[in-house]
């Protein structure tokens, strides 16, 4: 019983939820890392900002719908300059279905887990992550390379001496694969699928922070892409690292000292959770020490970077929010102008370019494009109204959306 409620607690724990440039070249600060102070932005976000302040156009890409690529409502998207991937279904940027990468099963090149939830593209190869890492070529054929994540060979023992059972992020940089095993370590793997190095996320002697504590937002990203590199957000140190191959360099420091989780909420979580479990049984969850430490603090869920901006999404923390029947707080989007060194924040982006009612960059950035998506049946009335007045939406006139795959929203940032 306690284990079941423990898992429920964890899933419910944190719910958030002046010169300008006209150049398309990236604005690069001279000295890294640069500190971005976001306290005021968290406490005083604007009610809304106009999308036209950031972007000059919006595109809508319906993902092709046919029997071999009918998608289910899982929040497992990944985007690269070449592909849109939903689970292991790959589409091009016109929305055309191309192929599935990998299959479930027990044989060579097959994933024994119930689902392939993470995929990355590096060089000319795809890599899928489940109970195994498997390499496929650019046409999705198995190359013969695969390995289990539940064993290490003798030469790798100094890199990792444990099973990688809690990988929450999977990405690639240059010729390396990156695996974040929450909470303590990012492991680096070469293209031969061998572990070659590791990066500690937190002080090693404090790794009892709990392998159970994790964020529950389906669109949280510990790793995002910036040009040819990866940005890794280490929330224990409030630092964004630029990862180039196997090299980790601090790039941005996210500063919100008074509003961040205190160390005890992180490093004594298991101990405090046991107390919270007893307080829950006694009807005292509102007064449990963990709630007092965590309530009304803030967590950063994503950090993205474009040529001109750093985008940060964050939310207010209420411990055990659903169990305490506390309504959800809106996510906050913070925009840091790299050139002007100015910040604006908002809880809503008003689409004054196409009128879409619920835009928020849930899927982050790909190059200079902000990405979101929606299921057509959720916005059926809006699509049919747009079809009457906007030729770009004429394909949606009189359509039955009940079985359609999602539509990807691509917002093109100003140069």
Is residue 29 scored above 80 in pLDDT?
A: no
Is residue 403 scored above 90 in pLDDT?
A: no
Whole-angstrom Cα distance, residue 29 to residue 298? Answer: 27
Over residues 16-41, the mean pLDDT reads: 70
Nearest to 171 by CA among 109, 112, 128, 111: 128
Is residue 74 scored above 80 in pLDDT?
A: no
Contacts of 107 (CB under 8 A, 6+ apart): none
Is residue 9 scored above 60 in pLDDT?
A: no
What does the DSSP 8-state code read for residue 70? -
What is the pLDDT confidence band of residue 24, given thresholds at 50, 70 and 90? Answer: low
β partners of residue 43: none
Is residue 85 scored above 80 in pLDDT?
A: yes
pLDDT of res. 154: 61
pLDDT of res. 400: 82
Over residues 203-223, the mean pLDDT reads: 55
The CA distances from residue 360 to 129, 223, 332, 351, in Å, are 27, 19, 10, 10
Between 91 and 261, residue with greater pLDDT: 91
Judge whether 36 and 253 are in contact, CB under 8 Å.
yes
What is the pLDDT confidence band of residue 155, given thresholds at 50, 70 and 90? Answer: low
Per-residue model confidence as pLDDT tens digits over 318-329: 999 999 999 999
Domains and CATH numbers, the chain: 2-75+149-413 (no CATH), 77-148 (2.40.10)
pLDDT of res. 212: 42
User: Counting beta carbons within 10 angstroms of the beta carbon of residue 201, is it exposed (0 to 12), middle (13 to 18) or buried (19 or more)?
Assistant: buried
pLDDT of res. 69: 93
pLDDT of res. 252: 97
- Strand extents, DSSP E, 130-257: 132-137, 142-148, 167-173, 176-181, 185-189, 195-200, 223-226, 229-234, 239-244, 247-255
pLDDT of res. 76: 77
pLDDT of res. 117: 72
pLDDT of res. 213: 44
User: Counting beta carbons within 10 angstroms of the beta carbon of residue 402, is it exposed (0 to 12), middle (13 to 18) or buried (19 or more)?
Assistant: exposed
pLDDT of res. 353: 96
Over residues 358-369, the mean pLDDT reads: 91
Kindly state the tokens that stand for 9. 């607690």
Judge whether 134 and 127 are in contact, CB under 8 Å.
yes
Between 250 and 400, residue with greater pLDDT: 250
Between 188 and 19, residue with greater pLDDT: 188
Is residue 264 scored above 50 in pLDDT?
A: yes
What is the reported pTM? 0.87
What is the pLDDT confidence band of residue 209, given thresholds at 50, 70 and 90? Answer: low
Question: According to DSSP H, which parts of 159-268 are helical?
Answer: 263-267
Nearest to 49 by CA among 276, 346, 312: 346
pLDDT of res. 206: 55
Is residue 59 scored above 80 in pLDDT?
A: yes
Omega cis (within 30) before 33: yes
Q: What are phi and psi of 172, to 5 degrees?
A: -140, 145
pLDDT of res. 336: 98
CB atoms within 10 A of CB 32: 12
Per-residue model confidence as pLDDT tens digits over 286-319: 999 999 999 999 999 899 999 999 999 999 999 9
pLDDT of res. 211: 41
The CA distances from residue 18 to 333, 338, 341, 342, in Å, are 21, 10, 8, 8
Per-residue model confidence as pLDDT tens digits over 328-357: 999 999 999 999 999 999 999 999 999 999
Kindly state the tokens that stand for 241. 């690292």
Is residue 1 scored above 70 in pLDDT?
A: no
Over residues 213-237, the mean pLDDT reads: 77
Over residues 125-154, the mean pLDDT reads: 88
**Average pLDDT value over all residues in the chain:** 86
Over residues 383-409, the mean pLDDT reads: 89
pLDDT of res. 337: 96
């Amino acid at each position: 019983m306690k284990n079941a409620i423990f898992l429920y607690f964890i899933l419910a724990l944190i719910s958030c939820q002046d010169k300008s440039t006209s150049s398309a070249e990236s604005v690069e600060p001279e000295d890294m890392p640069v500190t971005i102070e976001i306290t005021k932005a968290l406490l005083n976000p604007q009610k809304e900002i106009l999308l036209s302040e950031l972007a000059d156009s919006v595109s809508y890409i319906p993902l092709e719908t046919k029997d071999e690529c009918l998608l289910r409502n899982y929040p497992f998207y990944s985007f690269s300059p070449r592909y849109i991937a939903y689970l292991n279904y790959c589409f091009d940027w016109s929305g055309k279905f191309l192929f599935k990468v990998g299959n479930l099963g027990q044989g060579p090149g097959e994933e024994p887990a119930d689902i392939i939830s993470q995929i990355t593209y590096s060089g000319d190869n795809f890599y899928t992550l489940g109970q195994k890492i498997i390499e496929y070529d650019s046409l999705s054929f198995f190359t013969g390379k695969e390995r289990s994540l539940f064993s290490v060979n003798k030469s790798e023992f100094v890199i990792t001496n444990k099973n990688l059972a809690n990988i929450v992020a999977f990405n690639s940089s240059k010729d390396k694969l990156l695996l974040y095993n929450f909470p303590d370590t990012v492991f680096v793997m070469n293209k031969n699928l061998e572990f070659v190095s590791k990066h500690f996320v937190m002080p090693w002697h404090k790794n009892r922070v709990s392998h159970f504590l994790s964020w529950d937002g389906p669109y949280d990203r510990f790793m995002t892409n910036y040009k040819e590199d990866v940005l890794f957000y280490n929330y224990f140190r409030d630092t964004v690292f630029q990862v180039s191959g196997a090299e980790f360099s601090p790039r941005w420091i996210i500063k919100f000292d008074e509003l961040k989780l205190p160390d005890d909420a992180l490093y004594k979580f298991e101990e405090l959770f046991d107390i919270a479990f007893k307080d829950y049984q006694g009807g005292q969850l509102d007064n449990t020490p963990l709630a007092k430490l965590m309530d009304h603090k803030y967590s950063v869920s994503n950090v993205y970077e474009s040529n001109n901006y750093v985008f940060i999404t964050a939310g207010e923390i209420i411990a055990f929010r659903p169990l305490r029947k506390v309504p959800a707080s809106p996510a906050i989007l913070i925009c840091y102008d790299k050139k002007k060194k100015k910040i604006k924040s908002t809880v809503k982006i008003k689409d004054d370019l196409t009128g879409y009612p619920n835009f928020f960059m849930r899927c982050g950035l790909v190059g200079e494009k902000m990405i979101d998506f929606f299921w057509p049946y959720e916005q059926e009335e809006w699509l049919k109204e747009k079809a009457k007045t906007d030729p770009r939406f004429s394909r949606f006139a009189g359509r039955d959306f009940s079985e359609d795959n999602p539509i990807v929203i691509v917002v093109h940032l100003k140069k």
